[in-house]
Chain A
Amino acid sequence: MAKKKAAQICITTVTGADRVGIIARLATIMAKANINIIDVNQKILEDYFVMTMAVDTANATINMETIKKRLDKAAQEMSLKITFQDENIFKAMHRV
């Protein structure tokens, strides 16, 4: 049996106006790339709608650049801002 790859967690962040279908759209992009969704959270912060989605990219079938391109396209179509970053940057900044 193939050895299970170590998890590579990335965080997708969505900011903008809340609307129907944001999670569905992101989930589709992730599923098509064989990326597993681990956790989803959302809140209203400083009048922004903010949603974070933690995903595991260890078995992704496309590279980070392509994922970003697809997310950028979705962001444009839904008038949102979407970022996609390795989780370690947040750990470095917010955990001692």
Chain B
Amino acid sequence: MRISVEEVFETVKMTLDHHFDIRTVTLGINLTDCMDRNFNSFDARAHERIVEKGKLLNRCARIIEQKYGIPITNRRIAVTPAAILLEPLPRKKQIAVRFAKTLDAAARKANIDFIGGFGAMVQKGMTGSDENMIDAVPQALSKTQRVCGFLNLASTEAGINMDAVVKFGHTLRELAERSENGVGCAKIAVFANAPQDNPFMAGAHHGAGEPDFSLNIGISGPGVVRNVVLQNPNCDLTQLSEVIKRTVFKITRAGELIGRELANMMDIYFGIVDISLAPTTLAGDSVAEIIEAMGIEQMGLPGSTAALAMLVDAVKKGGAMASGNVGGLSGTFIPVSEDAGMVRAVRAGTLTLEKLEALTSVCSVGLDMFAVPGDTPAEVLSAIIADELAIGVINNKTTSVRIIPVPGKKPGDIVHFGGLLGSAPIMKVAKTASHRFIIRKGRIPAPIQALRN
């Protein structure tokens, strides 16, 4: 049956008016076979492979974009976690920093805007190489533009590595001080239960268990979902959930088609479609505004958590029907600075850090892109992180934290990060918190949920 005018128009309108796009195509690259006791040999091999594959990714993505008329907004690369790659090399901070610079240079040469994988899996303990890499984070991320970092600090199977959480609090402070407005901190996310095939930055990396290359797609259309919710102002919530499901089904099918064809063209393995709703700073492309379209007066007011829970569930159901390869994070991002509706809610006082944390318990992906005063003590940063990771560990899901301490700013000030990162009001946090709890260190044991065998 030929496609009708109405159907064509629905798709065209999604891209023209509601910012529907393939948010990212992320190429995972295995670099373990590049490892060497000699840094220069390792470095040259890694650089060559990233540049070659990055250029191929850009070339193929452009052809597919033309063919289907759906914008592919970002082309990214995720590599094997750096801490693993650096294992055979001397435990010197400068070596890790040099490798970050190589990643940065390779990404620039291949015209890739972000490259992920400067990170480590340390949910249970840290190797010497892991510690060295974490020590290098402030320099590595403040001296590079395109490199993104991640740390998996907790998992349901291992519990929470509080030694690493405490260490990271100090790392974050140092990184904030080294970069303008603390923006370096926007390039590193810490996780509980980090997925190894997540295509979204800052947490993307090419995990163990992945093939040599894999292509993962992040698909996103908050604007499309918001529009469909606005068009159904009076239906009950069951019906509204159905409407959202159907819309997400359609956009996920588009992602699946594009991902599969792109992977075929590059002759590599097609990994997953991540169906997370990811807002951008563009007007209308906001998750908070979907919640408000559902009938919540402003994001953060009572009802927000229930509305968000329903939204995320409808997105998952529609997406799971549309693709057999749904994976990655597949939640809903509620970053503060990147979502105009979230920023408005913080400024109006309806959205506080505490409410944001509650929202993340139903949506994944965690406390994202929120700014706090630069003089927030490292222990308080660690405590905020530990709280969020606990939600992920106990509920068997991914949670992450991307927190930006902005030097010299007070609660209520606005900081502009620029570009995709948007701007954020500084949120109020306690100056003292739980110092004695944090300095105990150790590991919060794996919860009883871990014993499933």
Q: Which A residues lie at the B interface, using CB under 8 A?
A: 11, 13, 15, 39, 41-43, 45, 48, 50-52, 54, 64-65, 68, 81, 83-95
Known A-B contacts A13-B9, A52-B5; the reply to A83 vs B254 at CB < 8 A is no
Q: Which B residues lie at the A interface, using CB under 8 A?
A: 1-12, 15-16, 66-70, 250-251, 253-254, 256-258
Contact status B2-A45, CB under 8 Å: no
Cross-interface CB contact of A92 among B10, B16, B69, B256, cutoff 8 Å? B256
Contacting residues, chain B, for A52 (C-beta < 8 A): 3, 5, 8-9
Contact status B5-A90, CB under 8 Å: no
**Main SS class of interface, B:** helix
Smallest CB gap from B8: residue in A? A52
Contacting residues, chain A, for B3 (C-beta < 8 A): 11, 52, 87, 90-91, 94-95
Rounded to whole Å, the gap between the CB of A42 and the closest CB of chain B is 7
User: In the bound complex, what is the Cα–Cα distance between A41 and B1 (angstroms)?
Assistant: 14
- 3 pairs of A and B residues whose beta carbons are closest in the complex: A85-B69, A92-B257, A93-B250
Q: A48-B9, A85-B69, A90-B3 are in contact. List 14 more A-B contacts (CB 8 A).
A: A11-B8, A13-B8, A13-B9, A15-B12, A45-B5, A64-B66, A85-B68, A86-B68, A89-B11, A89-B258, A91-B3, A92-B253, A92-B254, A93-B7
User: In the bound complex, what is the Cα–Cα distance between A93 and B250 (angstroms)?
Assistant: 4
Rounded to whole Å, the gap between the CB of B256 and the closest CB of chain A is 7
Contact status B69-A83, CB under 8 Å: yes
Known A-B contacts A15-B9, A43-B5, A50-B9; the reply to A93 vs B254 at CB < 8 A is yes
Known A-B contacts A11-B3, A83-B16, A84-B69; the reply to A93 vs B9 at CB < 8 A is no
Cross-interface CB contact of A89 among B4, B5, B16, B254, cutoff 8 Å? B254
User: In the bound complex, what is the Cα–Cα distance between A85 and B71 (angstroms)?
Assistant: 12
Rounded to whole Å, the gap between the CB of A46 and the closest CB of chain B is 8
Cross-interface CB contact of B16 among A81, A88, A90, A93, cutoff 8 Å? A81
Rounded to whole Å, the gap between the CB of A64 and the closest CB of chain B is 5
Smallest CB gap from B70: residue in A? A89
Rounded to whole Å, the gap between the CB of B287 and the closest CB of chain A is 22
User: In the bound complex, what is the Cα–Cα distance between A88 and B253 (angstroms)?
Assistant: 11
Contacting residues, chain B, for A89 (C-beta < 8 A): 11, 68-70, 254, 257-258
A-B CB pair tally, cutoff 8 Å: 78
Smallest CB gap from B253: residue in A? A92
User: In the bound complex, what is the Cα–Cα distance between A42 and B1 (angstroms)?
Assistant: 17
Cross-interface CB contact of A43 among B6, B68, B250, B257, cutoff 8 Å? B6
User: In the bound complex, what is the Cα–Cα distance between A52 and B10 (angstroms)?
Assistant: 12
User: In the bound complex, what is the Cα–Cα distance between A51 and B8 (angstroms)?
Assistant: 10
User: In the bound complex, what is the Cα–Cα distance between A48 and B9 (angstroms)?
Assistant: 10
Known A-B contacts A45-B9, A92-B253; the reply to A39 vs B69 at CB < 8 A is no
Known A-B contacts A13-B8, A90-B7; the reply to A39 vs B2 at CB < 8 A is yes
Contacting residues, chain A, for B257 (C-beta < 8 A): 88-89, 92
Known A-B contacts A93-B250, A94-B250; the reply to A65 vs B5 at CB < 8 A is no
Contacting residues, chain A, for B66 (C-beta < 8 A): 64-65, 68
B2, B7, B250, B257 — most chain A CB neighbours (10 Å): B2
Q: List 12 A-B contacts (CB under 8 A).
A: A41-B5, A42-B5, A43-B6, A48-B9, A65-B66, A83-B12, A83-B16, A86-B67, A88-B68, A88-B257, A89-B69, A93-B250
Known A-B contacts A41-B5, A45-B6; the reply to A64 vs B12 at CB < 8 A is no
User: In the bound complex, what is the Cα–Cα distance between A45 and B253 (angstroms)?
Assistant: 24
User: In the bound complex, what is the Cα–Cα distance between A85 and B8 (angstroms)?
Assistant: 10
Contacting residues, chain B, for A84 (C-beta < 8 A): 69
Contacting residues, chain A, for B256 (C-beta < 8 A): 92
Contacting residues, chain A, for B15 (C-beta < 8 A): 83
Contacting residues, chain B, for A51 (C-beta < 8 A): 5
User: In the bound complex, what is the Cα–Cα distance between A76 and B254 (angstroms)?
Assistant: 28
A43, A51, A92 — most chain B CB neighbours (10 Å): A92
Contact status B5-A93, CB under 8 Å: no
Smallest CB gap from A41: residue in B? B5
User: In the bound complex, what is the Cα–Cα distance between A45 and B256 (angstroms)?
Assistant: 28
User: In the bound complex, what is the Cα–Cα distance between A91 and B7 (angstroms)?
Assistant: 9
Contact status B253-A50, CB under 8 Å: no
Rounded to whole Å, the gap between the CB of A88 and the closest CB of chain B is 6
Contact status A90-B67, CB under 8 Å: no
User: In the bound complex, what is the Cα–Cα distance between A42 and B4 (angstroms)?
Assistant: 10
Rounded to whole Å, the gap between the CB of B434 and the closest CB of chain A is 49
Contacting residues, chain A, for B253 (C-beta < 8 A): 92-93
Smallest CB gap from A38: residue in B? B2
Contact status B7-A94, CB under 8 Å: yes
Rounded to whole Å, the gap between the CB of A62 and the closest CB of chain B is 13
Smallest CB gap from B7: residue in A? A94
Contacting residues, chain B, for A94 (C-beta < 8 A): 3, 7, 10-11, 250
Contact status B251-A93, CB under 8 Å: yes
User: In the bound complex, what is the Cα–Cα distance between A88 and B2 (angstroms)?
Assistant: 11
Cross-interface CB contact of A93 among B2, B4, B11, cutoff 8 Å? B11
